[in-house]
Chain A
Amino acid sequence: MKRTGLLLLVLCLIPSANFDAQSALWASTEVVEFSQQSLRQRYYQLIQELRCPKCQNQNLADSNAPISADMKAQIQRMLEDQKSDRQIKEHLVSRYSEFILYRPEVNQNTWFLWFAPVCFVLLGGLVIWRQYYSGRRSNRLQTQQPPQLSAEQRRRLSELLDPSEDKP
């Protein structure tokens, strides 16, 4: 049982690890000059996390829309200006709205998005636990405690079970 759980966990993690490696590969086909190597890494991280506002469901790394090119150039400029990732995102969000964040901030509009999955898992866990628990309890009731019969019921039972009273 434990081993199966571990296996499931590993299986769940494989696609995400694979995805990261792949998108890094796509991104690295572009030639962008940076003064420091660390900026390049942050650049790739940002253009993978930010969404193209013109195209449906493509990140900036993946998109060749003119607006994505502008946004990538702006990100590059701001990185060279020693702006933080947060400042860059705020700069873009103030113009293109939260739509462009593939990983939205936790706020009034997005709390449900962030916390609903956890709530659903907890709720599901609760249901399973209750089912399991009540199932076990009723099992125990059945096996360990024989039903209590009244005197009338006993009499009727012995009547039914007594072969001498059978009338063919």
Chain B
Amino acid sequence: MRLGLVIDLDTCVGCHACAVACKQWNTSGTTGPLTDIAAYGAEPSGVWFNRIRHYEVGDYPNNKTVNMPMSCMHCEDADCVTVCPTGASYKRKEDGIVLVDQDKCMGCNLCAWACPYGARELDPVDGVMKKCTLCIDRIYDETLEPEDRQPACVITCPAHARFFGDLDDPDSQVSRLTRERAGQTLMPELGYKPTNTYLPPRVTRPVPTDDVRRKSLISSVKEWVNQAIVR
């Protein structure tokens, strides 16, 4: 089993709801707290498992805004695990989730150095490394309704841009989406084989505008009258 996320860059609106839901769930979960520093100060900072960045792709007028949520990719060849000297970082055999055992971590930062995706953040108060757990305390919780056994970020996404599932199962929704939408991984050239997959924006036909009628004298007068009546 290879559990991971599939994120649709076509529908992601960049609202940061996934990051907030993640922070809310995990700060009170098994890996919490996600310490904040000067939360109400001039320069608020803190630990987040999920961050959303916004990019402009292409040059005007053929440009497009792309919102890119990023959390741990739960890589198959996770260097953060191999460089860890204490054995605090580990990858679960049964489902591929990469975790940190906070009781073993000595806070040397080396795993964060080895991660190109910025998935690991040191909690300066606890002195240990923290990262996305794929909401392991949710997805296996049998007291929850089956539809709730998903990561908090997936459940909360208002644009349905996030999907959770087993990428080893060719018939799962995430595998199907990856196949049909030509899902891609980030920085594949580094060879970490990330599990999380991103669906690129769909190539859509441009909306035709040449048949839009030009303004005539009558339509201008009508428009003016309509506006005057509304006022």
| Physical interaction between A and B | no
Residues on B facing A (Cβ under 8 Å): none
